[in-house]
Amino acid sequence: MAKPKKGKVLEHLIQAYTMECETILNYLANSVMLDGVRAEEIKSSLAADVAEELTHATELAKRIKQVGGRVPGSLSLDFGQKVLQPPKDTTDVTGVIKGVIAAEQAAIDNYKKCIKACEQEDDYVSQDLCIRTLADEEGHLIQFKGFLKEYEKR
């Protein structure tokens, strides 16, 4: 078994895992709770993204274990995506889109920090995982920024 790492890479991997798990919950909730004709495209996109975010969380969990860390359970996760909570007004599609953008940007920022930490700790496997996941998150960000442009025109 790999010697446990105590550095920043493991911290960022655990943070990324936590963020992915929280995103899964919030995407799922919003994909069900949004109402209205305008909501259908967003609901569909969020529902499809749940599977991709679950893949990210699974890959991160495996990597955390590989480097000797402990994959946190639900009671150890520190969630904080206030802007992505299902809105009280279930027709607030724009609010959900803005929440997705904020969550994706936060994930991107964490992956970039992890990539830099990987360089310092010579952990190129974690770096590769973070780079690949970063590309997915940037794709989600661009997609939802496009949705926001369209929704703000109306």
Q: What CATH number did the domain enclosing 108 receive?
A: 1.20.1260.10
Q: Are 68 and 18 in contact (CB under 8 A)?
A: no
Q: pLDDT of 83-122, one tens digit each?
A: 999 999 999 999 999 999 999 999 999 999 999 999 999 9
Token pair for 16:
């990324």
Report the domain count for the chain. 1
Q: pLDDT of 41-90, one tens digit each?
A: 999 999 999 999 999 999 999 999 999 999 999 999 999 999 999 999 99
Q: Which of 136, 141, 14 is nearest to 77 (CA)?
A: 14
- Compute the Cα dihedral for 24, 25, 28, 31 and give only its sign: negative
Whole-prediction pTM: 0.92
- 121's CB contacts (< 8 A; 6+ apart) are 5, 7, 8, 9
Q: What is the pLDDT of residue 69?
A: 96
Q: What is the largest CA-CA distance in the chain?
A: 56
Q: What share of the chain has pLDDT > 70, as a percent?
A: 95
Q: What is the pLDDT of residue 152?
A: 85
Q: Let me know if residue 1 belongs to a domain.
A: no
Domain holding 122, by residue range, is 8-67+90-153
